[in-house]
Chain A
Amino acid sequence: MSIDKDIVKHISKLARISLDDKKTDGLVKDLSSIILFIEKLNKLNTDNVVPLTSIINASLKSRADEVKNEKIRDQILKNSPEKNEEFFVVPKVIE
């Protein structure tokens, strides 16, 4: 599968990264060579192989679902580039 300009534009939209034309052209070249490289896997027959989904030989632990009142709103908001006393502020979403 080769990567063309339209594919790069499509995935950059999905990934929410804006690209100018020059960057897009560069990425067509880079991503094509990377995809060609990873397609080496197609030489290998994996029909009867179970995909590895966890490297640990144990199921993930669960914990009690407890309500905690940690009062950390200020900490959570501290690093926000734009906020008021209680909320993250973003550009207007609904007209």
Chain B
Amino acid sequence: MIDLTKISLCDLVKGIKKKDFTSEEVTKSFIDNEKKSKKLNSFITTNFDEAIIKSQTFDKKKNYSGLLAGVPLAVKDLFCTKNIKTTAGSKILNNFFPTYESTVTANLWSEGAFLLGKLNCDEFAMGSSNETSFFGNVINPYGDKLVPGGSSGGSAAALASNLTPATIGTDTGGSIRQPASFTGTVGLKPTYGRCSRWGIVAFASSLDQAGPMTQNVEDCALLLQAISSYDPKDSTSVNVKVDNYSENLTDNIKGLKIGIPKEYRVENMPDEIDILWKKGVEYLKDAGAIIKDITLPHTMYALPAYYIVAPAEASSNLARYDGVKYGHRAKGKNLIEMYENTRSEGFGDEVKRRILIGTYVLSSGYYDAYYIKAQKVRQLIKKDFDESFNEIDAVLTPSTPSSAFKVGDKKDDPISMYLNDVFTVPVNLAGLPAISVPAGLDKKNLPLGLQLIGKPFQEQTILNLSLAIQKRAGFKKSIKEWWK
């Protein structure tokens, strides 16, 4: 019998429809696999009993109308799921059972999917290695000492080790694309406003977006289509028609103009990343694209600007965790002491750091020097892209400046951790869509990704370009299941 956990999302949907196998068989296969894969620590909460019931109900009713009919999916534990614990990787939400469902997960369920479980992530999505989670590190299936990236590290690890057929993450500064790059999977951050943020635990509201993480580009197109929607409940959701990304997916990219920004050639970048980047250029040329050198002159300021804007918004968003309305509460002699102790006990070190930086840059006397300055820089970064997009259709860069690093390597040095996101952060500041597609292996046999950045709401273009790369790179997953 074929291993149902190794089939792509598109083929699972087709196979269920053709009755090659049942939804229940698929669901039980993933559950069995997860039970043998506890060492990866990719799940925070499992929803196995309910998933089996949902699959049995599906097999009885056989309603094949949805894009994801009969498919079990695990999602990052940052999406509120009705009556199912939602922690955001934090102690402060360890007892939180939302009474509502996020729009993005509701979209999945209305397309016929159902919840398999909630996946580990960095606390409040703040991290690039999944080491800040209250529920412990996630391990990269590519090696027992490697981080899976972050913050959607549990999502990436579960996907790469076949514990869910596909998944969704969130991306504030690279949290979908960096872990996708570290685990040889595809991850797409949509245009700001493409997917609703309603019901997602907020980190930095002007940067956060939900997006698909999948085994290949075809699956990515399908899942993006399922989660995208206009949502009146999110005032920053944009009312643009959702394309039929799957049907329009093609590797015919002839004549598309691709920009290569020289500013992404950063100091100390390993040769292999540069070689991969050149290969990417060759793949796209081979597919008929036109390559142009471009300049994005303010790139080097993106990361410092991000570390003002994101913590500032986080410090404001996380003010709601006060031990009163929901979540963990500590004891205190009076109200203020109760707040202070609750937040001290409930938040981990990285979250505290960011709240304090955010509080500092917004505090009286510093607001103009830091926060307004960062917003001006953000304008310049957006302008760089806007001007380039007069000449080109998309930008090609590496996804990350290195492959997956070792657990503990960067944990005590916030700046070296932050530098992981040097290629992904500018995209969030400019609100653009971008995808990481696996394109090769480094000398240590670890996966490396290439990033394609598109114009606003041109997700189709970057999906098509990624398909052209996927077909030519011939990336093959090479995971030995050492944890079993």
Contacts and interface: CB of A to CB of B under 8 A. Distances in A.
Q: Are A and B genuine complex partners?
A: yes
Interface of A: 1, 3, 7-8, 11-12, 14-19, 23, 27, 30-31, 33-35, 37-42, 44, 46, 49-56, 58, 60-61, 63, 72, 75-76, 78-82, 88, 90-93
Contacts of B268: none
A23 B353 CA distance: 11
Interface string B189-214: 00011000000000000100000000
Interface stretch (B31-39, B151-159, B373-381, B446-454): B373-381
18 contacts: A11-B363, A14-B363, A18-B341, A27-B352, A33-B415, A37-B303, A37-B304, A38-B308, A41-B301, A46-B377, A50-B379, A55-B193, A76-B99, A76-B325, A79-B95, A81-B329, A90-B338, A93-B335
The 6 A-B residue pairs with the shortest CB-CB distance in the complex, in nearest-first order = A79-B326, A51-B375, A55-B431, A81-B329, A18-B340, A46-B376
Nearest to A72: B99
Nearest to B336: A16
A49 B357 contact: no
A33 B332 CA distance: 32
B304 A38 contact: yes
A53 B382 CA distance: 12
Given A38-B307, A38-B308, A91-B335, A49 B359 contact: no
Given A34-B415, A79-B327, A80-B325, 12 more contacts: A3-B360, A17-B340, A34-B307, A35-B360, A39-B304, A44-B380, A50-B376, A51-B372, A55-B431, A56-B192, A61-B235, A81-B329
B301 A79 contact: no
Given A37-B307, A56-B238, A91-B334, A17 B344 contact: yes
Interface string B144-155: 000000000000
B353 A55 contact: no
Contacts of B235: 60-61
Contact of A55 (B96, B328, B347, B430): B430
B379 A31 contact: no
Contact of B376 (A11, A52, A76, A80): A52
B298 interface: yes
Contact of B379 (A18, A19, A49): A49
Nearest to A7: B360
Nearest to B351: A17
A18 B425 CA distance: 31
A78 B99 contact: yes
A54 to B, nearest CB: 8
Interface in B199-252: 206, 232, 235-236, 238
A27 to B, nearest CB: 7
Contact of A8 (B236, B238, B329, B356): B356
B140 interface: no
A79 B382 CA distance: 40
Contacts of B95: 79, 81
B356 A11 contact: yes
Nearest to B309: A52
Contact of A58 (B238, B329, B360): B238
A46 B431 CA distance: 21
Contact of A79 (B97, B353, B363): B97
Contacts of B338: 90-91
Given A16-B343, A82-B329, A52 B382 contact: yes
B326 A15 contact: no
Nearest to B323: A81
A38 B359 contact: no
A90 B324 CA distance: 7
Nearest to B373: A41
A91 B430 contact: no
Contact of B325 (A18, A41, A54, A88): A88
B395 interface: no
A79 B322 CA distance: 13
Contact of A15 (B304, B323, B332, B356): B356
Nearest to A49: B376
A35 B356 CA distance: 11
Nearest to B357: A34
Contacts of A76: 99, 325
Contacts of A7: 360
